[in-house]
Amino acid sequence: MERRYWNINLEEMMEAGVHFGHGTKKWNPKMAPYISAKRKGIHITNLIITACFLSEACDLVFDAASRGKKFLIVGTKKKVADLVASAAIRARCHYVNKKWLGGMLTNWSTTETRLQKFRDLRARKLSTLQTYLGGIKYMTGLPDIVIIVDQQEEYMVLRECVILGIPTICLIDTNCDPDLADISIPANDDAIASIRLILTKLVSAICEGHSSYIKKG
Amino acid sequence: MASAVALSSFSSLFLRSSRSSSASSSAPSTSFIPRSLTHPPSPLRLSAPAPSPAATSGGEIETTFYYNDDPSNIVTFDPPERPEGYVPPPAFDELPPETEEEISAGYEELYGPAYSGESVLGNDIYVMDAKLKKTSSHLGRKKREKVADGFEERVVQVRRVTKVVKGGKKMSFRAIVVVGNKQGQVGVGVGKAKEVVDAIVKSSVNARMNIVTVPMTKYSTFPHRSDGDYGAAKVMLRPASPGTGVIAGGAVRVVLEMAGVENALGKQIGSKNALNNARAAVVAVGKMRQFSDVARERGIPMEELWK
């Protein structure tokens, strides 16, 4: 996999507050290698590791996009819902920003039935299905890579992907388990600025990959 | 050293604005940082063993650094060179908003109209129907699936099970089915339904999801002895010379026959429960390895394994 330049610099990440973790009492001891310091009852993650993983994730995502793989971005917290939607639309990926219905991936045949219903109801445009399925209406099969914004919130999504064997990229905070996802990026999942920064990098990688895929024909 | 001092006071100033406020505002306020401190840390090469705490700024905020002095584990971030004329692409919410048409056109280019119900580029919006009919509808499945897969099914046990509710007893049927092609792949499945036929269908679907491969030698037998247990059922499997046939009881026999094993000995030690024994047999078979694979993993020639 070719390593490209993704304009990841540590000052930018510090400004966005990517290095903040959760309170000391809520930590997951498996995160010990990624924590560099403790200050005022809050754990501070090691930004070098974050930068390494983020660039690796961007390389992987660029590679996959240039081969025409499908992505899914999942983020259901109220604060980040709009961010996830705009990021995914910009990158032409599927997304889930309202509630994740259990079994969306493992029970794909039922989800397909719902999507068919949604398509037939489109004429009315008032359906509540729009909130749940709006982001995946262009999805024809299971995605190839799933990007998850907060592991604690989207634990079910991670479980489904592990069962199905779909590679995942996940934003990990100090109270999460880094072994579950394939690439876990230790970052702050509370501040909108930090999620925005990481999503920007990933989205730019996906866009570049798509454009190189389209160029290839 | 000076850069480390600057950096630690840089971040300590950050923490003065509490975390919750930085979370609520979308961009953290940068007014706390005096200009002089943003300038020095240009060669920001922090490696994991950070400099000593003696250099940190005063005692107002206590910091404990966790050092990773393990030399094999030192992480450095060295990205590839910045290409000249690199313009960082704008963030996604700073771009001019795209019209719905552009968005749909973009998606359609990549994925086709799928389930969106409208087509901007002139593709057929009912394209997914054709694909869906091919895979299954519930009626078609019962007739076709029996031959399509190459997997044969055999029902091991059908039992009537009961759930006692306020009004009386709720009956249902539980079917245990073993599915296999006779070439080394088997799976055990369970399914429950109100009718026997439906239960068998459910269990065969379940069986196809947990398939395991049996390593077989050219005489249709195992490479070596193996034990497996599941619950209270313990199964011992042993290879046999050609001409022996499958000598095993009940559920284990069915599993071995569906795998295509022709010569083997098997014994159920422990519980005689059919489902658990079938699963234990699958576990036992999953533990087996071919001699060539083991030799390759250990990096030794195969002759060594037989000494």
| The pair of three-digit structure tokens given for residue A77, joined into one six-digit string | 């917290």
User: How many angstroms separate the first and last alpha carbons of chain B?
Assistant: 62
pLDDT digits (tens, 9 = 90+) for B211-232: 999 998 888 899 999 999 999 9
Question: pLDDT at residue B128 above 80?
Answer: no
pLDDT recorded at residue B302: 82
All residues of chain A having their beta carbon less than 8 Å from the beta carbon of residue B109 are 214
Say yes or no for a CB contact (<8 Å) between A11 and B30: no
Can you tell me the mean pLDDT for B256-282? 93
- Would you list the DSSP string of A50-119? HHHHHHHHHHHHHHHHHTT--EEEE--STTTHHHHHHHHHHHT-EEE-S---TTTTTTHHHHHHHHHHHH
Predicted pLDDT at B35: 43
- Which of B12, B28, B75 lies nearest to residue A17, judging by beta carbons? B28
ipTM: 0.73
**Chain B residues whose beta carbon lies within 8 Å of the beta carbon of residue A116:** 115, 128-129, 132
Question: B51 pLDDT exceeds 50?
Answer: no
3 state SS of A160: helix
More confident residue, B32 or A177: A177
Chain B residues whose beta carbon lies within 8 Å of the beta carbon of residue A39 = 11-12, 15, 61-64
Count how many pairs of residues, chain A against chain B, have C-beta atoms within 8 Å: 158
CA distance B265 to B221: 10
The pLDDT profile of chain A, 217 residues, written as one tens digit per residue, is 777 777 777 888 888 888 888 888 888 888 888 888 888 888 888 888 888 888 888 888 888 888 888 899 998 888 888 888 888 888 888 898 888 888 888 888 888 888 888 887 776 666 777 888 888 888 888 889 999 988 888 889 999 999 898 999 998 888 888 888 888 888 888 888 888 888 888 888 888 888 888 888 7
SS3 of residue A184 by DSSP? strand
| CB < 8 Å from B in window 161-190 of A | 190
Confirm or reject contact between A211 and chain B (CB < 8 A): no
Closest among B136, B254, B252, B146 to B197, alpha carbons compared: B146
User: A193-213 burial, b if ≥16 CB within 10 A, otherwise e?
Assistant: bbbbbbbbbbbbbbbbbbeeb
Q: pLDDT value at position B67?
A: 67
| B45: pLDDT strictly greater than 50 | no
**A37: phi then psi, degrees, rounded to nearest 5:** -160, 170
- B230-240 pLDDT tens trace: 999 999 999 99
Global pTM exceeds 0.90? no
Which of A10, A40, A207 is facing B44, going by the closest CB pair? A10
Chain B residues within 8 A of A8 when measuring between CB atoms: 79
Q: What is the dihedral of CA A194, A198, A199, A202, to 10 degrees?
A: 180
Place of tokens 């679907």: B205
Question: Residue A171, Cα to own-chain centre: how many angstroms?
Answer: 7
Q: 3-state SS string over B170-228? A: EEEEEEEEEEEECCCEEEEEEEEECCHHHHHHHHHHHHHHCEEECCCCCCCCCCCCEEE
Mean pLDDT value across chain A: 86
Q: How far apart are CA A152 and CA A155, in angstroms?
A: 6
Q: What are phi and psi of A99, to 5 degrees?
A: -50, 140
B18 pLDDT higher than 50: no
pLDDT digits (tens, 9 = 90+) for A84-136: 888 888 888 889 888 888 888 888 888 888 888 888 777 666 677 788 888 88
Cα–Cα distance for residue pair A64/A210, rounded to 1 Å:
9
Cα nearest neighbour of A44 on chain B: B65
| Contact status of A120 with chain B (Cβ, < 8 Å) | yes
Cα→Cα distances A50→A20, A167, B63, Å: 12, 19, 20
